[in-house]
Amino acid sequence: MAENDAAGDVEAKAAAIEAGRVLFAQECEFVMGVRTEADLPQAELPEVAFAGRSNVGKSSLLNALTNRRTLARTSNTPGRTREVNFFRLGGRLMLVDLPGYGYARAGKEEIERWNKLIEDYLRGRSNLRRVCLLIDARRGIGAPDRKVMELLDQAAVVYQIVLTKVDKEKAGALARIEQTAAGEIARHGAAYPEILATSAAKKQGLEEVRAAVAALAEEASGPFLTDGAHPSESKDH
């Protein structure tokens, strides 16, 4: 029996990876960049957002996932993404690149504006299916990440920890960070239990992220894809 189960798991995983590959092979187009809550577009498709500290690698991961070098703007300088950027993937799903939080060198007003925009977006988006919460594999979960986790717990928005830049960390240290992160998220109601480990630079772990996103696109064949008129009714996570 256990053998059958294991074979079933392998098959299911392969199918999920294939669904991810197919979804991300489709056209991905920039829709718009938004600087204030008032400008956020109507809930048109299910959304998956990429959140995390400034410079953690959100835009790089999006580019790697979609196999495009310059879809989302990346930079060595923290604070590159200054807007909430929407990318439509295969007409099925919206990928959302958020500005980073915790960037200390911007002006005070600008930091406040970004933080408010991120919070407004994360709290008030009824079609937000999941937040990929990116954590630098060398740093682990830090204080600013915990604030966002609390916000998402309160808003009942499911979030999944995605470690970034794993190419910069040794396997042993990486395993410890993963373990610590797993222990921490176990105490959070809205955290998805599976932690993903990625490197945009070395293209590691991308298939698993694509598979996770594709599973959400499949789940969400409800109001957004039929009439798009009742986003509040589909908040079922």
Ligand X SMILES: Nc1nc2c(ncn2[C@@H]2O[C@H](COP(=O)(O)OP(=O)(O)OP(=O)(O)O)[C@@H](O)[C@H]2O)c(=O)[nH]1
Q: Which chain residues interact with Mg ion by CB under 5 A? A: 58-59, 80-81
* Contact window for ligand X (CB under 6 A) among 26-34, 57-65, 118-126, 209-217: 57-65
Residue 33 touches which member of Mg ion, ligand X, none, C-beta under 5-8 Å by kind: none
Nearer to ligand X, 80 or 139 (CB): 80
Cα separation, 176 vs 179, whole angstroms? 5
Residue 88 phi/psi, 5° resolution? Answer: -90, 125
Least CB distance to ligand X at residue 63 (A): 8
Tell me, residue by residue from 96 to 115, as one string, x for binding to ligand X by CB under 6 A and - for no binding. ---xx---------------
By CB under 6 A, name the one of 28, 48, 51, 57 that touches ligand X.
57
Q: Are 213 and 20 in contact (CB under 8 A)?
A: yes
| Interaction between residue 59 and ligand X (CB under 6 A) | yes
Residue 123 phi/psi, 5° resolution? Answer: -80, -35
What are the Cα distances from residue 224, in Å, to 45, 93, 129, 206, 220? 5, 10, 12, 26, 8
Q: Are 132 and 95 in contact (CB under 8 A)?
A: no
Least CB distance to ligand X at residue 89 (A): 18
By CB under 6 A, name the one of 26, 36, 67, 75 that touches ligand X.
75
Two structure tokens written together for 212: 């996770």
Cα separation, 132 vs 128, whole angstroms? 11
Residues 137-196 that bind ligand X (CB under 6 A): 164-165, 167-168
Residue numbers of the site for ligand X (CB under 6 A)? 52, 54-60, 74-76, 78-81, 99-100, 164-165, 167-168, 199-201
